[in-house]
Chains A and B, each alone.
Chain A
Amino acid sequence: MNYMELLGALAPEAIVVLTALVALAVDLLVLRQAPQNARQVVAVSITAVGILAAIIALSVAAPSPPWMDGLLINHSTTAFLKQTLLVLALVAGILSIQSRFTQHTGEYVTLLLLSTVGMMLLVSSDNLLLMFVALELTSLPLYVLTAFNKESPSSSEASLKYFLIGSLSAACLLFGISLLYGLSGGITWTQLATTLRAGSEPIVYLALILTLIGFAFKVAAAPFHLWAPDVYQGAPTPVAAFIASGSKIASFYMFARIFMAALPGTAGSAAWSGATPGWVPLVAALAVVSMILGNVAAIAQRSVKRLLAYSAIGHAGYALLAILSNTEQGMGSLLYYVVTYAVTAMGAFAVVNVIERDVQAPNGESLTDFAGLSRRSPLLSLCLLVFVLSLAGIPPLAGFFGKFYIFIATAQSGTSQGLIWLVMLAIGTSAISLYYYLQILKQVYVVESVGQPTPVQLRPAESACIVAMACTVLILGCAPNWLINRFSPNSTEVRRAGVITKPSTTLELAAEIHPRITAPLGTATGLVQKRPQFETTTANAQ
């Protein structure tokens, strides 16, 4: 174990942390007296340079074997996800230029970058402890960022709710993790995967439930979604956009890996007839509630940010389907889905951000502020059309293939189409969802604006970002194979990330992934009884 090598493997994260510190120092020491706009431009420029450097560092880094029993893993999928996260952070930074919600530009950018580092660590760990630390590193800056608009009471209100409920869920998660450790005697995926079995101890279910809650909160799955509408509406829009995009990618990836790779033995089944207990039926329950509540409650919303929050809850429901399919394909579909969703949501929020700045209403935007947008800014309307139709799942936009891939993966995973009921529900709710998405488009294209339509003020960097995201959504929809191949189940690297095809072959695969599988065997002090065939299988695998 060489610390220089470790630093090499962590170079992208280190670059981002350094950037955060530089941005803070420059803002506080040099630009204290400079006008607000200049400070923002300088801070975001420093961020851009740092993020570009980190992206380059990620793309040149050779895939390395897992460090310290999977404390740190680096392969092409994690590198790609980290690059996506960095780009999203940069877009969130660009969107906040010229916004008036804060004087503390340096702190703002620093917190944004620190949260990004948390997400980057979250996607590259196979270890319960680092997972928890990374999750907290992601969340704490986001709580503060949510409260950044000191002039708006709803911002601090949202932040307080976010923080308190977040603490509650973190407590649950920590409890769940400690139970998992107690049951298995290990904190790495391989140790967990080889010892935990469904049906052996009721306490396994308690551990599963508590762990699940921690993640359900992060991805805003109902009924742990309560914070989301408040936070999306109250937080400064660029922050809301980042919570809706970057945080979703990182949390969903970790969510899927901990359950698919570390807990395959406790999966159970959610088939319509013949369900067996485990985490799959629990995730199915969350998915069902999220899809129904998110899509139906969105219909009655009058604020676009709130509407997007409920739509995000619905989308979390679809993504949960990918997790509960518990296959390699499910993992691929999840990643395609959350990446395209993140880009789309970021784009939609970017448009909202422009409108919000334009109307300057004290209580934030509402649906009617979008009236007649097509005559005020055809470009912005066209981009919004792309984002909204993609969220609604209209081909050939990326949103359609994301959903389609998930439906395919889910339909295929159950034995004899046992999960088709979930697919039917998902398709049904997505048909409902078109109704409220059309409400937005109706305002944009049909309803007349109040008074004389004046052109919307757009900054070049901002409009470039929005157009680029709209093009990405269109291109990823027209050529989905490019992105899907990056998460291809055939690549051995994804396997190393721990996606396991069939629960029955867990042990063989676990042994294949990790030659030192004997270590947890000797030290397992958990409450779980080891089965006799357990040793023989492992021995054979060796």
Chain B
Amino acid sequence: MEHDAVQHAVQSGSKIQDLAWLVLFLPLLGSVMAWFITRRDRVLTTVFTLGTVILSFILSVTLFAVFGAASAECTPFQFLHIGDLKVDIGLHLDALSTLMLLVVTGVASLVMIFSTSYMHDDASYSRFFCTLGLFVFSMLGIVLANNFVMMFVFWELVGVSSYLLIGFWFERPAAGDAAKKAFLSNRLGDFGFILGILMVWSAVGSVNFQEIQASLIKNPAAMGVWAGLAGLLVFMGAMGKSAQFPLHVWLPDAMEGPTPVSALIHAATMVAAGVYMLCRVFFIYTVPAGWPPALSFLGDLSAATVVAWIGGITALLAALTAVQQNDIKRILAYSTLSQLGYMVMAVGLGASTGNPSASMFHLFTHAFFKAMLFLGAGSVIHACHHEQDIWRMGGLWKKMPVTFWTFAIGTAALAGLPPFSGFYSKDEILATALEANPILCGLAVLVACLTTFYMCRLVLVAFFGTTRTESAEHAHESPRSMTIPLMFLAVPSVVAGWFPVGEFIAGHFGVRSHEGVGRVVAQEGIGPMLTMILGGIDHALFAPFNHNALAAFLGLFGVLLGGSAAWALYWNQARDPLPGLFTNLSRAMRKKFYFDEIYDSVFIPIHDTVACIMAWFDRWIIDGLGVRGIHGTIEIVGRALRLVQTGNLQTYAFLFAAGVAFLAFIALQ
């Protein structure tokens, strides 16, 4: 790999990479201190938790500036050595992880600043900040982990802290149920993930990412018949965390949590963990496909193709659903689902070219503008006295100018309008798709069109038109601590696309697809990159058109189509005209294509029936017919005798003997 060339330069230097330990543990330290020492004092709690996260951010910037695309291992601690299995607690720094560190700590800092006023009146203010700190710690653990097992540990910790945050307002039953749903769906994904880890480990003999990669480069067929299955099982983990079809049902419900949580966890970081993990273990998707004999009919189908299609399906379904949602946070939630589908699709498609950089690029830009959109929605909800239905708002643009303008920037970025950041990252995905799979490219253009449509619908209905309710009438701009993070996030939402992040990541994967800034970064560091960017910003601005003009124009075409349709339908409307036009389709969209209903009517009854049968079976044995209903009224000896006589114990003995027969059957078979 190319990055080996730069590695020695760093390793010979000082042990600055050990700063990563601080980046990781500072948020945890802040949380623990705040919980045990200063829980009663809001100001000190804020100082501890927010302060440590900001410090972590500063250190991340330092690490990014020093390392750039170089890679380094932090001194590992021996954690678990059993037989052939060697698990260390070790951190790995490279282009992927340093970039992700910036995203996580940066967005987390801004979201926490926003929360200081959003959560100001909440009785459990301290609990909120401590849990948020715990979450940041867990997320950073996923980013920095240098092996599968450590990643899995933090993966589950993220699940737990997200469970605590979604269910933060546990007084609402919906919040408790949503938290449980999220945890269980994630767990279902993790079932596959840990099985996949075991499979990779037993095929390759290591859980360390670098070692697995090295042995797969030496012998791409090392995974043999397990390649396809292991890839799919590991992907199941990503399906849970990144809410991919058919495990996507938890994400919209997770909006029951406080809005800053939605911004941080369910838009920028946790849900991106799945995509990040796929990029981190990308090397297991580039090996030749292989299936065990039982699945040999799958032939040459590679795991990556399945990944791409699942991503594409998720993107389309979620975009369609978003078109007919009325809750401002749910629209954004479905849009997140859809964009995650985009990223997953890009990873799957990247396998054929060996370059999943487009997905990381989109993850990077999406984190900023989606977090901003959520915080903007939070600001709107805050101003309208916890009103979330967009049809009960209207005309807000004059009352809340900062929120409106930032929200508009976010919308433009999400829709993919140049020169906003989303355009550049989406364009890379479209370009990758155009090369690898034209059908999925067409699907992606359709999704881009739908995205513009529902986002414009949201803006036109909520911010323009007439003021439709009392609460919207009295809305006013949110306080500084809420608008400042919005403005801070607006900057990267605009400019993040101008940086050659895609090429920077592509360098990490050893791809030099086209000459440009990324190459300079990968070889010479960050300093020259800044010079180049400032010198060649016009080059960066028009890069998509130079690189693959067809993809860029397809994307723009989708945006214009969606935008004009939304304008025609929703400009100055008091009611949604779409149900009148497409009755059945719009109902299906409103009902989220009946996924919840299907799951409720299929899986939960099966689950409950099996449990009841099992319990009944045991109850029948234990309670028996004669014992039921007797509670301490009869003398004990009489009871005991009666027990023996009514056949209950005979039943026990009979089943005991049946057990013996069962074992004898197994033994003599």
Chain A interface residues toward B at CB < 8 A: 150-154, 156-157, 160-161, 164-165, 168-169, 172, 202, 205-206, 208-209, 212-213, 216, 223-224, 226-227, 229-230, 277, 281-282, 285-286, 293, 296-297, 299-301, 328-329, 332-333, 362-363, 389, 394-396, 400-401, 404-405, 407-409, 411-412, 417, 420, 423-424, 427-428, 430-431, 434-435, 438, 442, 445-446, 448, 479-481, 484, 489
Contact = CB atoms under 8 A, between A and B. Distances in A.
B79 A209 contact: no
Interface range, B side: 35 or more
Contact of A434 (B183, B615, B659, B660): B183
A420 B610 CA distance: 25
B306 interface: no
Nearest to B633: A153
Contacts of B634: 153
Interface in B580-619: 607-608, 610-612, 614-618
Nearest to A151: B632
Contacts of B668: 202, 205, 277
B81 A481 contact: yes
A423 B199 CA distance: 11
A412 to B, nearest CB: 7
A329 B83 contact: yes
Given A299-B611, A394-B160, A484-B80, 10 more contacts: A151-B632, A153-B632, A282-B663, A299-B607, A299-B615, A329-B82, A362-B632, A363-B631, A405-B80, A445-B167
B176 interface: yes
A412 B202 contact: yes
A226 B653 CA distance: 10
Given A161-B649, A165-B653, A229 B618 contact: yes
B204 interface: no
Nearest to A165: B652
Contacts of B78: 481
B652 A427 contact: no
Contact of B611 (A297, A389, A431): A297
Contacts of A417: 202
Contacts of A424: 195
A243 to B, nearest CB: 17
A156 B632 CA distance: 10
A431 B194 CA distance: 11
A153 B194 CA distance: 46
B667 A209 contact: yes
Across chains A and B, which 10 residue pairs bring their CB atoms closest together, nearest first?
A300-B615, A446-B176, A299-B611, A297-B614, A223-B659, A395-B153, A431-B191, A153-B632, A205-B667, A300-B611
Contact of A168 (B84, B195, B627, B653): B653
Interface in B633-666: 634, 636, 639-640, 643, 649, 652-653, 655-656, 658-660, 662-664, 666
Interface in B523-574: none
B170 interface: yes
Given A396-B153, A427-B195, A156 B639 contact: yes
Contacts of B460: none
Contacts of A213: 659-660, 663
Nearest to A445: B170
Given A226-B655, A438-B183, A446-B176, A296 B195 contact: no
Nearest to A403: B194
B226 to A, nearest CB: 8
Contacts of B159: 394
B630 A153 contact: yes
Contacts of A160: 640, 643, 649
Q: For chain A, what secondary structure do more than half of its interface residues adopt (helix, strand, loop), or is it mixed?
A: helix
A172 B202 contact: no
B427 interface: no
A418 to B, nearest CB: 11
Nearest to B171: A448
B632 A212 contact: no
B622 interface: yes
26 contacts: A161-B643, A165-B649, A165-B652, A165-B653, A206-B664, A209-B660, A213-B660, A213-B663, A216-B659, A282-B667, A285-B663, A297-B615, A297-B617, A300-B614, A300-B615, A362-B631, A389-B160, A394-B159, A404-B149, A408-B198, A412-B84, A427-B195, A438-B184, A446-B170, A480-B80, A481-B80
B492 to A, nearest CB: 33
B83 A223 contact: no
B621 interface: yes
Contact of A293 (B152, B187, B614, B622): B614
Contacts of B79: 479-481
Given A296-B610, A329-B83, A446-B176, A396 B184 contact: no
Contacts of A411: 198, 202
B190 interface: yes
A226 B663 contact: no
Contacts of B160: 389, 394
B622 A407 contact: no
Interface string B244-288: 000000000000000000000000000000000000000000000
Contacts of A300: 611-612, 614-616
A231 to B, nearest CB: 11
Contact of B82 (A277, A296, A395, A484): A484
Interface in B174-200: 176, 180, 183-184, 187-188, 190-191, 194-195, 198-199
A153 B636 contact: yes
Contacts of A481: 78-81
B337 to A, nearest CB: 23
Given A153-B630, A160-B643, A434-B187, A442 B180 contact: yes
Interface string B81-122: 111110000000000000000000000000000000000000
A369 to B, nearest CB: 18
A389 B159 CA distance: 12
A500 B595 CA distance: 52
Contact of B615 (A168, A209, A301, A401): A301
B668 to A, nearest CB: 6
